[in-house]
Amino acid sequence: MFELLIGLILLVVIAVLVIAVILLLSNLGAYFTKIAQGTTAFITAGESLQEIVPNIGGYKMSEAVDLEGQRWLVPAKDEKEQIIALFRDAMFGTVWFQKLLWKKFGVKFISLFWPHTRIHEFDIRKGGRRRIEARNEVGADAPLRSRVIDSPVKETVVDSLLFLAPRPVYMEGVELAGDNSKINLLLLPVFRQVIPSLPVFNLKGDFFTLLDAAIEAAVVDFFAKHRVAVYKGEKDDPRKGQLAGDSYDPAQAAQQEESPLTYAHWLKLTKAGEGSPLEKRLRHLNVSREYVKKLADKQKAELVAYIKSDLVHADDAADIPVGNVAQMIPSGIVPRFGYALVSFRIVEWEPHKSTEPLAKALLAKETELHAAEGVRQKSLGERDSKVANATGDSSLVTQVMDAFTKHNVDANVAAGVLETMVRTKNIGGSQITTYVEGGASASVMVPTSPSVSTKKETA
């Protein structure tokens, strides 16, 4: 019994030592590795990709491969499904131990042939990391361009790929087709990793500049091609030419017509959220209609389902066309760059230097319109007050005359009473305490408010 206990203690000690050695090796990146949450790492043998290792909650590498033989990161129903996919190609007989290491310690086995088989490192190049500086940090009067800065992390060689990548983009002098005005934009697209191997191995880490170029081309195309709805109206209709909707709807052709974007339209256009026409247009970039059809024809149902549920705009059909940037990315940015655009925001914008006079003129016009509206409302208020007073006077005269007629009062007497009532109507509530009627020799003093007795009444 004692020998059995000693044996169990030795096994526990050995197991603890083994785990300790594994953890030490993983910290050194030898034979084992740790992968940061929200990233994907790559195991290579020599220069060839051996395994893609994502540590992304709710996602796994797909069973299906795309038209180029690449696996996608797709949603996983539960953690068990994710673990199964992660150790799909694990060495036979070691799966249980590798799963234990991963679930309990966050450690992944690389290979017995380390360092030949190792975690792949790649260069994301200069400008691969950018961030937006807060407006109060750069100053209220600082140019918009100054808000986009390089990350303070200077090292560009990395060993994993971010699942979500916010990527600020500054654009200067974007032209609006309606009046040739120009604006400067600070955009914040957020990209999601879809095909991990593509940006790392096909594009050799130089993919952010290509994503920037695709977004810039799509934004320029939007301002050149987008049509808003404006009111038709008659010549004297103040609404004529004013923005009626973010996008033109032919069903409203009786009251509205289409118009290219002008600076005045841009001021009122919806600029944020899923209802933003610019955001909708950019989401069209993810996957082209033709590419979706090819995947469906090859029975890639898993990938097509992911496109339909996550990669296209909620208001659109699954087979989205790329649009007017098709020559640059005929299949979309997902099959071209491995990333999908999942959200988009206009952080800030300003009129271009050449458009500043127009911006100031429109501001002055709006100020004058609001001032004129204030004057108009004041006049309408005074008119309504006079109408109300006249209506009250008319009602009072009618009631008094009906009372005089009922009691057979002489018409001349009634007229005199009414004249006095109208003449003294506005005295009540004023500072005048006594009204004197008549001349100096024959006057009548009439109190304009009831007198207040200062004496105490007794029972």
Given a contact cutoff of 8 angstroms between Cβ atoms, the answer to whether 120 and 43 are in contact is: yes
As a whole number of Å, the end-to-end CA separation of the chain is 114
Q: Bridge-partner residues for 183, per DSSP?
A: 174, 351
Q: Where are the domains of the chain?
A: 2-121, 125-158+163-226+261-351, 369-424
Q: Bridge-partner residues for 132, per DSSP?
A: 148
For residue 120, CA distances in Å to 49, 331, 443 come to 8, 28, 112
Furthest C-alpha separation in the chain = 139
3-class secondary structure, 44: strand
- Per-residue pLDDT in tens (0 to 9) along the chain, 459 residues: 777 778 788 888 888 898 899 889 988 889 999 999 999 999 999 889 999 999 999 999 999 999 999 999 999 988 889 999 999 878 777 888 889 899 889 999 999 899 999 999 999 887 788 889 888 888 888 889 999 988 877 788 999 999 999 999 999 999 998 888 899 999 999 999 999 999 999 999 889 989 999 999 999 989 998 999 998 877 777 778 888 888 888 888 888 889 999 888 888 898 877 778 888 888 888 988 889 899 999 999 999 999 988 887 655 544 455 556 767 788 889 999 999 998 888 999 888 888 878 767 766 655 655 565 566 666 767 677 777 777 777 777 777 777 777 777 776 776 777 677 666 666 655 566 666 655 555 454 545 555 444 444 443
Q: How many residues does the chain have?
A: 459
Give the whole-angstrom CA distance, residue 156 versus residue 160: 11
8 DSSP 8-state letter: H
Given a contact cutoff of 8 angstroms between Cβ atoms, the answer to whether 263 and 255 are in contact is: no
The amino acid occupying position 222 is: F
**E-assigned strands of 361-447?**
434-438, 443-447
**Among candidates 222, 228, 235, which has minimal Cα distance to 279?**
222
Contacts of 102 (CB under 8 A, 6+ apart): 83, 86, 87, 108
Question: Tell me, what's the pLDDT at 77?
Answer: 83
CATH of domain 125-158+163-226+261-351: 3.30.479.30
